[in-house]
Structure 1
């Protein structure tokens, strides 16, 4: 099955929206205290990283227009393969600082696509 870049952009956007919903009204202390919240957020970051990795393979030029794309793939790899060394502070900083920029870029790409 051949996918279009928009498929991966959409998947990443859906995961980013889920993260926003999960952490709405929550702070870093809430995040640290809740295994459920951490698991939910980490899973969505895994999806974002995988979707962006597939986008990079399918359309490298489009991928370069996503700020933090390489970092998202790196975070996905840590979450999957280095699960024992996940730093909550890094995940939280990523969702506060990098996720909004990445989400804006993905929305722009989705809006400019022929989807």
Structure 2
């Protein structure tokens, strides 16, 4: 799957763009509540900044790892927060 990802520029850019959006959202949340309970909140913002500003680049391997490992974990954390808010 990684090979297909590497050659699919549209998918790579879409994932990068969504990481940028999540990083911006997290940045805004942290400005309001610096104790917000997302494990890698600061890393999400930092990754957004690296993508947007091109700091040291972000490798295809890193983007792939975020997509297949970190995003499902983040989704689970957000689901837990939403469930707790409903109770």
Q: What RMSD, in angstroms, separates the aligned Cα atoms of the two structures?
A: 1.7
Indicate the residue corresponding to 1:38 in structure 2.
12
Q: Gaps (5+ residues) in structure 1?
A: 1-26
Residues 1-115 of structure 1 mapped to structure 2, 5 A cutoff: 27-62=1-36, 65-82=37-54, 85-113=57-85
Q: Gaps (5+ residues) in structure 2?
A: none
Compute the TM-score of the two structures, normalised by the length of structure 2.
Answer: 0.87
Are the equivalent residues in 2 in contact too, given 1:31–1:38 (CA < 8 A)? Answer: yes
Equivalent residues, number = 86
Compute the TM-score of the two structures, normalised by the length of structure 1.
Answer: 0.67
